[in-house]
Every structure is written in C-alpha cells, then in structure tokens.
Structure 1
Amino acid sequence: MTTITWDDFARVELRVGQIVRAEVFAEARKPAYILHVDFGPEIGIRKSSAQITALYRPEALIGRQVVGVVNFPKKQIGPLMSECLVTGFYNENNEVVLCVPDRPVPLGAKLG
C-alpha cells in the first residue's frame, strides 16, 4: 500500500449527491447504468457510468444519496462523457456496493 500525505487526500473532492435519473447504458462493454447525480447548487448535476447492475435496478436508485469524486477530469466512456466517479466497494461476489451516507446530508456536502 502506498502512503499519501494529508494534502494528497484533501485534494480529492468527495461529495454527497442524489441520483435524479438512472438508465441502462446500452453501449457499455460491461453492464452499466448512466447515473445523473445532483451535487447541489455549487456543482450541479453530473453524469457517471456505474457498473452496479448486479445489485441495483435503475428505478430503485432514484432519490438515493451517494458519495462521488467530483474533481477528476472528465472521461470518455463510449458515447458518454463521464463527469464524476460514483464510489463503491466490491463485495465477496465481486459486485459493486454503493458507498452511501447512513443518514441524509445536504447535497454537495464534502467528506471531512
């Protein structure tokens, strides 16, 4: 494991957002959804590709809060320009489980 400094960590903008739209990403090589995540008035709505199809259905994702990295450069994923990284952890079956706050917090709140 590589050690980083506090300053390295502080540069990562981990923010809370709310999924406002989720749709199947039909053009993705691996099964994925396109998520539209509202990070509040300062950041706005950002799109992301998320390989979370094993455990989540698009309609069940609407309204859920998630933790995302909002200061990575945009990344072209097929026809989608991904604008943030929605975070998650792999479980014992190699399925992605979303990283979420355990209680509601204001949109755009920064991990502190």
Structure 2
Amino acid sequence: MKWRNLSKSRQVLPAHTEVQLHAAYLEVFGKRSEAVEIVLADLAAQTGFYMVEPPDADLSLYQAGYSAGQRAAFGRLFHFLSLSDEQLRALEEAARKEAEHL
C-alpha cells in the first residue's frame, strides 16, 4: 500500500482537494454496513462526542483541552458524513450504550 496525502494539492487546488477528501471519507465511512456502524459508535464513545463531563470530573485546563480535542477529532469525521435524523439518533444511542461499558 502506498500512503498518500493531499498536502501539495491543498495548496494549489484547495476546493478540489476538499471534494477529494470528502469523497475519501465517504468511501470509507459512508457505507451502510454493520462494521461501519460498530466503528462509528465506538469512535463516538471513545472520544466522548455525545457525553457531557460529570460534575465531579477533572476539569483542569489540560483535561478540558484533551476532552475537547477528542470530540473535535470525531467531529472532523462526522463533518463528512450525511446521516438522516434517524441514523443520527441511532448512532448517538449506540455510542452512549458503548460508553457505559468503557
């Protein structure tokens, strides 16, 4: 496998690069399969995307920044997906259930 990145084309053709990147994310995560659902729910749970910090949580600047970065990483992926309201609710429910067992 040859690893690729879009750094050079991003400088020259930023709009085209964004379209290419969007298509790549959809090719990987836009499929409707059990594996994709499991991975997305796990990523959402692991990053705390749907979670609120509990009142007794460590809210130091370091921890708050780390948690925000985790959620932003999943948000980046989530930005490229086109999910219906029903799919969004199902993903949130699955991620919350997954997070209960972490």
Q: TM-score by structure 2 length?
A: 0.26
Greater relative contact order (Cα 8 A, min sep 6): structure 1 or 2? 2
Larger radius of gyration: 2
Q: TM-score by structure 1 length?
A: 0.24
